[in-house]
Amino acid sequence: MTINVVKKIDNLVEIRNILISVSDKTGLKKFVNQLLKINPGLIIYSTGGTHDHIQTFLGDKSHSCLKQVSNYTGQPETQGGLVKTLDFKIYLGLLTETYNPAHQKDMIRIGAVPMDMVVVNLYPFQDTISKPESTVEHARGNIDIGGPCMIRASAKNFIRVAPVVDPADYSGIVAEVKDLNGFTSLDMRFRLAQKAFRHTAVYDSAIAEYLELQNIEAVKGCYQAAAAK
């Protein structure tokens, strides 16, 4: 396998396109409105409940700056939101390198846009399994797939993309973006990437530890009992 080696990057990257898909919507309204105030031309791509939440507080303004991911990719979300963002067009936008001509040709070929910031937090797996009534099926249903993939892709490409996983970071990000007139710095993107990979590592560890504690006969019994009802 030949590994692509990047030789040229930008310290400052303008935020023009943001992908947002969050379970925890704390502070999202203020964050989005502040970013739009800094850059009124910003385009937000979003999914399901997050899209509806953003549309609610943006009102008429959402017509010009908010897009459904399903409309962008041309693929409707599957039942229950099982598959929403696992799409070539999304990941090319997350992983594309600014100074890679082959990547740019691919972007033009499929009509993709480069995502400059990704705001994602994950299904509440640990909250789910902490509830007394929680079953293996409840836990399984709260294993996020698309979220960790987007976080990892954007964090890998910190040379261009800002991966945001924690609402507690919103105010600091806004302050820096404002100081930089709508841009993110490499320093900030790298710090966010460090945190993003820690975030997915903790999440995966929680899932692994939970499954290791389960007995397969009890797991079978969970589904047999549900089927009998």
User: For domain 12-123+148-199, which CATH number applies: 3.40.50.1380, 3.40.50.300, 3.30.70.2190, 3.30.70.60?
Assistant: 3.40.50.1380
pLDDT over 90 at 48, yes or no = no
What confidence tens digit (pLDDT) does each residue in 117-151 have?
Answer: 999 998 778 888 888 888 888 888 888 888 999 99
d(CA 43, CA 174): 16
What confidence tens digit (pLDDT) does each residue in 64-108 have?
Answer: 999 999 899 887 666 555 556 678 899 999 999 999 998 899 889
Per the prediction, the chain carries an average pLDDT of 90
pTM listed for this prediction: 0.90
Length of the chain: 229
Residue 218 is predicted with a pLDDT of 76
d(CA 15, CA 116): 5
Angle of helix 48-58 relative to helix 28-38, nearest 10 degrees, comes to 60
Residue 141 is predicted with a pLDDT of 85
Average pLDDT over residues 17-42: 96
**Which residue ranges make up each domain of the chain?**
12-123+148-199
Residue 80 is predicted with a pLDDT of 56
User: Quick check: 64 and 78 in contact, CB under 8 A?
Assistant: no
